[in-house]
Amino acid sequence: MATTEMESCSSECRSEPGTGDGDSKYPLKVLYCGVCSLPTEYCEYMPEPAKCRQWLEKNFPDVFARMTVGPAEKAPKRETSTGDAPPAVEEEEKKKQKRGGRGQIKQKKKTVPQKVTIAKIPRAKKKYVTRVCGLATFDIDLKEAQRFFAQKFSCGASVTAEDEIIIQGDFTDDIIDVIQEKWPEVDDDSIDDLGEVKK
């Protein structure tokens, strides 16, 4: 009994006035755009509706002729020239984002002076930690440098900030020679010893 009620309901729903076209046949066949992968009636809401219209006009001209895509000024202009698109248009297409979402904005690299600073920071009683900043300006991997310092001085070392390594212990006297020995691109003029500083 339940199936007959459902069948009768579905046939009634189809025949109700105002619910759709009278000549519609079920199941509906929906044409999906090859550019944006949405049904063709939603192409106008995509970032580049002109490409969708061109695809529809090229692949399904009869559907394109039936659809009212918008005002004539928004309709794609036919290319009269034969061959590929001009290089300026191709370049512009490469710059644009293809799908939804927010594009990644490339940040300009700030020109930071290449300077390594070494400081001794007091802890409790007569204990100190050594802070090394600026190794990243020389394109030195901080994780690798941290492991090297920990092994060289037999102590704990950690990367604490974007360009800062903290070494447990007072190694300000030895660390300058160790840095120049391990990374020869860091010369003596670009290393600055700040002495004892407060945190």
Kindly tell me if the per-residue pLDDT of 61 is higher than 70.
Answer: yes
124 lies in a domain?
Answer: yes
What are the start-end ranges of the H helices in the chain? 2-15, 49-59, 61-66, 87-95, 142-153, 172-182
pTM: 0.44
pLDDT at 167: 92
Q: Is 120 found in the same domain as 66?
A: no
- Per residue in 114-141, pLDDT tens? 788 999 999 888 889 999 988 888 888 8
Domain that holds residue 175: 116-196
191 inside domain: yes
With 0-12 / 13-18 / 19 or more C-beta atoms within 10 angstroms meaning exposed / middle / buried, residue 25 is: exposed
Evaluate whether residue 80 is within a structural domain. Answer: no
Contact 193, 172 (CB under 8 A): yes
Whether the predicted pLDDT of 151 surpasses 90: yes
Confidence (pLDDT) at 50: 86
User: Which CATH number do you get for residue 133?
Assistant: 3.30.780.10
